[in-house]
Structure 1
Amino acid sequence: MAFLLGCEKVRVEFPTKTVFTDLSLGVDEGARIGIVGKNGDGKSTLLRVLAGEVEVDDGRVIRTRGVSVGVLGQTDGLRDEDTVERAVVGDRPEYEWAGDARTRSIIAGLLDDVAWDGLVGTLSGGQRRRVDLARLLIGDWDVLMLDEPTNHLDVKAIAWLADHLKSRWRPGAGALLVVTHDRWFLDEVCEAMWEVHGQRVWPFEGGFSAYIMQRVERDRLAALAEQKRQNALRRELAWLSRGARARATKPKFHVAAAQALIADVPPLRDELELKRMAMARLGKTVVELQDASLSFGDRVILDDVDWIIGPGDRYGIVGANGIGKTTLLRIIQGLQPLDRGRVKIGQTVRFAVLSQHLDELTKLGDDRVRQVISRYSRRTMLDGKEMTPGQLLERLGFTKDDQNEPVCDLSGGQKRRLALMLILLDEPNVLILDEPGNDLDTDMLAAVESLLDGWPGTLLLVTHDRYLMERVTDHQFALIDGKVRHLPGGVDEYLRLAEEAEREAAESASAKAAAKAGALGKAAFGKPAGRTAPALSGGEQRELRKLMASNEKKIGTLKGKIEKKQLEMAEADQSDYLVLTAMQEEIADFQDQIEALELEWLEAAEKLGE
């Protein structure tokens, strides 16, 4: 594969810290790389170094002549006085950009709720972010560098973006580098991972899930090596401290077998035990919506909804931006009056809300973290264990130095973790989380998830992070057309329902247009407008359906082969990387075959109009 860009022996220093030392890496054509690491370790700086936006202190940044690079930073360079159209497509005439299928797809995927002739200065932060992303994606780039592209996107837009990036270049062409905390997105679009840590970048093959497995194995081997080193030190100390008689025989140390990566992993949560504990704290009634209806003008939020939230239920709520998810949370708390119906709240219910904007921390001002937690002497029960405020703070990643920082000077991720901790210390029994993953890196997300696994109460979660949603909740619900709809198939089912609704709306609009055209034709010529014959003959349709059925069987067979090979990998010697790599290549080959069959299936379905 052709080399596109990279760096050699690069050192980057800021006044208060060294970010990279002796960093060398490269990006080849066809690369799809996700970049992860703790907040502050240098993920965004790495993108800016490779893009040529940061001057390095030593070493050099290399770029092949003619390679174009597009960058989505955390801040945009849009001008407030420009219209959305000008910000996205510049001065190109309408016939030019409207005639480009990719441009139309990008605008439809990201800007369906943004006024095309509106001014950039009047947009919300989320709309402005999507305008900047659309502007970048419309360009023709050899390399795309995206810093938190999923921020302010709903689940549907995130799925659209993933599909766009997967099909943007032909296989083996272009390159993508993406920094994001959205683990589903990383798994969906990335084929390699870079972990930024300790002034270096550590490469891993595969998406986020593969990266986690490899990192666990790396940590296991490191722990094993450290255990052996400690045992050796203990032997030497024993040898030095004993007399000659004691040295006659050497003590034998038994080293425990390494923990298996996947086999015999216990459930994330003991659902029955958590529900039992929740009932002890809540009783049988938490919240019940009965015939609930609410509208704002022509906008329907709820339409005759019945919904029961019980003790220990862990529900995730999904829906498009602006559909009314936050309003639904206010209704559940009894803060938003209904037009009709009622909300029944249990007598023992104590709500706690982690909001998007962390308003609850404003009153703390410049109080230091240690001062804040010193006001809490009570221990709290989590995962069956009593924890002090200090232990809880440590579990959420706060160091001793962090505890001396004023609350107002904390990073966004630290503030979110502190707010969550203070909520848990107040011991509510119904916890409402509105986008709790904002500003958290993947390691801290995992720590928060682990913490929530042991929380014994009712949990309601609103987030566009589908990995977080399906990780910490047991059931998902969608707010669609004023109804709260259960999603047995999770977020994938919501996306399917949204796609069906869009298709039905398009078909309805098309039918109305056809009826109008027929009426015009009849008025003009005295007879209905003629219909065109179907493009496919009966024989062609049968062949296409036969092909689709055949491909479905082949895909099922290949998926079975993948499962079998994965079992073989789990049982293989984990230190034999040659064997593991060969098995992984076989799995990749099966997956490539599945993708080709699925593409063929989709093309046949499109021809049939299904």
Structure 2
Amino acid sequence: MAHLLGAEALHLEVPTKTVFDSVTLGVGEGDRIGIVGRNGDGKSSLLMMLAGRREPDSGKVTLRGGTTIGVLDQADAFEPGATVGRTVVGDREEYEWAGDPQARDVIAGLISDLDWDAPLDALSGGQRRRVALARLLVQQFDILFLDEPTNHLDVEGIAWLADHLKRRWPRGQGALLVVTHDRWFLDEVCTTTWEVHDRIVEPFEGGYAAYILQRVERDRQAATIEQKRQNLARKELAWLRRGAPARTSKPKFRIDAANELIADVPEIRDRVSLQSMAVARLGKEVVNLVEAGVAYDGRVILDGVDWLLAPGERTGILGVNGAGKSTLLGLISGAVEPTSGRVKRGKTVQVATLTQRLDELEEHLQDPVRTVIAGLRTSFTVGSGSKAQELTPGQLLERMGFTSAQLSTPVKDLSGGQKRRLQLLLILLDQPNVLILDEPTNDLDTDMLAAMEDLLDSWPGTLIVVSHDRYFLERVTDQQYAILGRRLRHLPGGVDQYLELRAAEESAAAAAPTPAAAPGGAGPAGGASAGSATGPASAPALSGAERRAAEKELAAVERKMERLQRDAEQARTALASMDQSDYTALNAEMTKITALEDEVAALEERWLELSAELE
């Protein structure tokens, strides 16, 4: 493997601490490196030193002659008055960039929906991020340095970026270094993981899942080190091995070693106990949406939404920006009234929403953290049944990564991640029984995300999550829905099914007749058209009779799945209200539920096959 870049004895200090002390690293052709670590430990500083954007206090970085590097910063900086097209392709003529397959692919994947001549000042944060990525990726580089590339991207954008980076260079060529908190992205793209901690950089083979296994092994060998961190990592490894979507079929780490490490780790959630507690707190009726719709100024946002939220339900919501996710959350919380249909809430329902705006902290900005929590509840129950334990707010803060010294810090001086954790704590101490999380992973590192997930595992209520962080969404929820065509659709196949449905929508839209192109043919639409020519060939079309038969079977499968899922949900609700000491009856009921879930799983496979045939 040819050497591209080397760093020798890097030392870096900031006014309050030493960030790195004599760090030596190397990057070679074919490396795909993910950089992880806690906020403030120096991940971005390391990336910028290696990229030549920041000088170390001592040590040196050497680059092989002729090696080119491209850098994506966390902040998207553009020239004043710049437009989308000029920012992405510069002064190149259309025939130049349109003749480059890579440039066409990037433009089609990231900015085909944007006006080529739109000023960047008029774009949203997510749109500006896509323009910044496109500007970088249309160029040719030997090494790419990406600092939080998935920020502001939706699930589709993240999936496209992962696929592009995997295809960007031939095997064994080019190099990628990426700092991100998106664990799905790390696992999908990276073959090596560097953990930044305690002034050093520790390398691990493999992506995020492999890194978790090796970290557990490391911590187990030194059992006295970071005991709490070890337990969280082992719990996360248990989830990764026991059925995380799209991971169990990929042997990214040694299966026998993983199974041995998690042998004594229980299931991440005690669903029976949580269901029982949820029914006790909520009753059997939570929030029912019946033919609910919302329209503003003649524009329909949601239409005919039917959804009966059950006690203890844990659901993730997917949809493109502007699809109506926030409107749906507003219907559930009561912040939005339906313009058609109705919304019915149970009498005991108490909804709390973790917003993206940190509203709960506004009145406390000048107060120390200790003062903020002093007037709250004296205890918080974590876990259920015999495993339940009472934690004080201070203990809960410690569990969420706060040190005792930080209790005296004014809220305004906390980092973004610390404010996010404090915001969640304030909401949980209010003891809601329906919790809505709107992009809860912003500003959190991977360890703090694991701590939040651990806390939510023992939260006994109905949980609704909107997040572009695929790993978090799959980890804390048991099912996913999507807003497609102004309606709410259940996704038996999870995020993968959502991406397939969105790809089918895009293909149908591209195949629809369009007005004649404007003179000159310049702009991203032309790029998207050219890029689509490089996509996979479509499957042979079904005959009319075959299509009708497939559509009929698909409808029958959907009806049967809905019925079985309803039966399973009723059985789980009944299980929660049964005598918990009658083990024979409980076992019989669990056997019945398992059989129903197995039948649903088989039907989901057939549903996916039929959907693929009909695309």
| TM-score normalised over the length of structure 2 | 0.77
The aligned counterpart of 1:427 is 431
Structure number with the bigger relative contact order (C-alpha 8 A, sep ≥ 6) is 2
Q: For the Cα contact (< 8 Å) 1:301–1:481, is it kept in 2? A: no
The aligned counterpart of 2:317 is 317
Is 1:402 the counterpart of 2:406? The answer is: yes
Cα offset, 1:80, TM superposition: 3.0
The aligned counterpart of 1:43 is 43
Is 1:14 the counterpart of 2:14? The answer is: yes
Cα deviation digits, residues 373-408 of structure 1 (max 9, x gap): 111242111112211101110100000121111101
Is 1:25 the counterpart of 2:50? The answer is: no
d(CA) in 2 for partners of 1:64, 1:70: 15
Q: For the Cα contact (< 8 Å) 1:79–1:120, is it kept in 2? A: no
Cα deviation digits, residues 548-596 of structure 1 (max 9, x gap): xxxxxxxxxxxxxxxxxxxxxxxxxxxxxxxxxxxxxxxxxxxxxxxxx
The aligned counterpart of 1:465 is 469
The aligned counterpart of 1:493 is 497
Q: For the Cα contact (< 8 Å) 1:80–1:119, is it kept in 2? A: no
User: Unpaired segments of 5 or more residues in structure 1?
Assistant: 228-257, 514-534, 539-607
d(CA) in 2 for partners of 1:427, 1:496: 38
The aligned counterpart of 2:191 is 191
The aligned counterpart of 1:416 is 420
Aligned residue for 1:223, secondary structure, equals: coil
Q: For the Cα contact (< 8 Å) 1:33–1:193, is it kept in 2? A: yes
The aligned counterpart of 2:327 is 327
Q: For the Cα contact (< 8 Å) 1:369–1:407, is it kept in 2? A: yes
d(CA) in 1 for partners of 2:488, 2:305: 7
d(CA) in 2 for partners of 1:100, 1:278: 56
Q: For the Cα contact (< 8 Å) 1:315–1:475, is it kept in 2? A: yes
User: Which of residues 505, 508, 513 in structure 2 aligns to 1:509?
Assistant: 513
The aligned counterpart of 1:54 is 54
Is 1:262 the counterpart of 2:266? The answer is: no
d(CA) in 1 for partners of 2:497, 2:76: 34
- The one-letter code matched in structure 1 to 2:349 is V
Aligned residue for 1:274, secondary structure, equals: helix
d(CA) in 2 for partners of 1:6, 1:75: 26
Residues 148-159 of structure 1 mapped to structure 2, 5 A cutoff: 148-159=148-159
Cα offset, 1:609, TM superposition: 13
d(CA) in 2 for partners of 1:211, 1:226: 16
Cα offset, 1:445, TM superposition: 0.3
CA, structure 1 residues 47+478, in 2 after alignment: closer, same or farther (shift >3 Å)? same
Is 1:221 the counterpart of 2:225? The answer is: no
Aligned residue for 2:267, secondary structure, equals: coil
Cα deviation digits, residues 221-256 of structure 1 (max 9, x gap): 0117999xxxxxxxxxxxxxxxxxxxxxxxxxxxxx
- The one-letter code matched in structure 2 to 1:209 is A
d(CA) in 1 for partners of 2:224, 2:391: 29
Cα offset, 1:168, TM superposition: 0.3
Cα offset, 1:299, TM superposition: 4.4
Q: For the Cα contact (< 8 Å) 2:291–2:304, is it kept in 1? A: yes
The aligned counterpart of 2:126 is 126
CA-atom RMSD in angstroms: 2.2
d(CA) in 1 for partners of 2:115, 2:283: 49
Cα offset, 1:158, TM superposition: 0.4
Paired positions, count:
488
Cα offset, 1:128, TM superposition: 1.3
d(CA) in 2 for partners of 1:138, 1:225: 45
Stretches (4+) displaced over 4 A: 224-227
The aligned counterpart of 1:481 is 485
The aligned counterpart of 1:84 is 84
Cα deviation digits, residues 436-481 of structure 1 (max 9, x gap): 1110000000000000000011100000011100100011101110
Q: Which moved more, 1:78-87 or 1:444-453?
A: 78-87
* Structure having the higher Rg: 1
The aligned counterpart of 1:548 is none
Q: For the Cα contact (< 8 Å) 1:27–1:175, is it kept in 2? A: yes
Is 1:443 the counterpart of 2:434? The answer is: no
The aligned counterpart of 1:284 is 284
Identity of aligned residues (%): 61
Cα offset, 1:334, TM superposition: 1.9
User: Unpaired segments of 5 or more residues in structure 2?
Assistant: 228-257, 517-536, 541-612
d(CA) in 1 for partners of 2:461, 2:264: 27
d(CA) in 1 for partners of 2:88, 2:198: 38
- The one-letter code matched in structure 1 to 2:421 is R
CA, structure 1 residues 18+274, in 2 after alignment: closer, same or farther (shift >3 Å)? same
d(CA) in 2 for partners of 1:364, 1:108: 45
CA, structure 1 residues 86+436, in 2 after alignment: closer, same or farther (shift >3 Å)? same
Q: For the Cα contact (< 8 Å) 1:79–1:121, is it kept in 2? A: no
d(CA) in 2 for partners of 1:426, 1:280: 17
| TM-score normalised over the length of structure 1 | 0.77
d(CA) in 2 for partners of 1:509, 1:201: 54
The aligned counterpart of 1:144 is 144
Q: Which moved more, 1:79-88 or 1:29-38?
A: 79-88
The aligned counterpart of 1:75 is 75
Q: For the Cα contact (< 8 Å) 1:382–1:456, is it kept in 2? A: no
d(CA) in 1 for partners of 2:127, 2:511: 28
Cα deviation digits, residues 305-349 of structure 1 (max 9, x gap): 111111110110011111111111011112212221011111111
d(CA) in 2 for partners of 1:179, 1:396: 22
The aligned counterpart of 2:211 is 211
